[in-house]
Chains A and B, each alone.
Chain A
Amino acid sequence: MLVCSWLIATTGTLASAGEPSAGGLSTGEPSAEDLIALAPVFSNGDPRCQGIDVCGTMAVADGVAPLKFRVSYRAPDQHALVIRDGADDTPLLWAVDRKVIAYEPIRPAVLYSTGPRTEFILYANDERIWCSLGIASSKDKPSGMCVSVKGLFSGPSQGDEVVKTGDGTYRLTRVKNEGLSVVAHVDTNRLQPYTKVELRAGHKNSIFLSLYKIAVGEPPGDEAFATPTKEQLAAKLTVRECLDDEFAESIKCIMLLLRSL
């Protein structure tokens, strides 16, 4: 059960391929290509990476508060995912090292399982952007995280814009076709310079995915992997324990999202 999974076509006829521009930049300021070259690409499969911590929001439908999420990894094999209602911060899904807690508001109950794996994938090629976030059965493969911010800039472009926002900081916008754009805030003073990345779409140019914390390298602290015990939950709430497969079957994506409507 992936909380959110989508694939966006970015191919199509372009009205104009456009030329990258760095309007208003003085000599010595980075071009769009210079900033794109700094975009991070990271995965828990990289043995050099000791930790990843990503916070963001994801819109699931028009008129619905976006979901907030935090995805954490600490070498060699610790994974955590927390998803909250974007309107009032109520935890909806909480997965740490295969222990998964999900709030089902209709039953109501807290579902508890010790099997599923977590997954966060975001990458793109010239034709598509893939994103999946959530949990799935653990039988086939382990938890994983693979993000390519650089890949979001791949493919045909209708133009780039670089705006200097401060001392060594820039806002980079790439307008892709079909109304999709990528907006990145870059601080060249930082080791990992991308401080915020947004995917925007539609005639309202609304944000459907935002990563507002992208920390790569340093392992997240213990707090990222802390969870309440089943006993702590059961002391105050109805807890329903599920097997791995049963968990995926018993709670549907919509039940998590429903509360945000």
Chain B
Amino acid sequence: MRKMTTHPGFTTVNVDWDAVKKSDAIYSHVLKDLVAAKPEEGVPAAAR
């Protein structure tokens, strides 16, 4: 969510960007945890 709120293509979209940023931090963490390895390293068996 680095530049999302300032990107000119999205400044008129009616979105609560602060809420999006907060939820994104959670989703990003959980999703990365489920795919703990990088793509080239594959998905861990624990995430199947």
Contacts and interface: CB of A to CB of B under 8 A. Distances in A.
B28 interface: yes
A90 B31 contact: yes
Nearest to B4: A261
A248 B18 CA distance: 27
Contacts of B3: 63, 261
Contacts of B7: 261
A69 B39 CA distance: 7
A109 to B, nearest CB: 9
Contact of B32 (A63, A90, A106): A90
A233 B35 CA distance: 11
A226 B20 contact: no
A225 to B, nearest CB: 8
Given A106-B20, A261-B2, A261-B3, A91 B35 contact: yes
B24 A91 contact: no
B3 to A, nearest CB: 5
Given A87-B2, A261-B10, A103 B31 contact: yes
B43 A224 contact: yes
Contacts of B40: 55, 70, 212-213
24 contacts: A63-B3, A68-B39, A70-B39, A70-B40, A82-B43, A84-B39, A89-B32, A90-B27, A90-B28, A91-B34, A105-B23, A108-B23, A108-B24, A110-B27, A212-B40, A226-B44, A226-B47, A226-B48, A227-B47, A227-B48, A228-B34, A232-B34, A237-B27, A261-B3
Top 4 A-B pairs, shortest CB-CB distance: A223-B42, A70-B39, A226-B43, A226-B48
Interface of A: 55, 63, 68-70, 82, 84, 87-91, 94, 103, 105-106, 108, 110, 212-213, 220-224, 226-229, 232-233, 236-237, 258-259, 261
Interface of B: 1-4, 7, 10, 15, 20, 23-24, 26-28, 30-32, 34-35, 37-45, 47-48
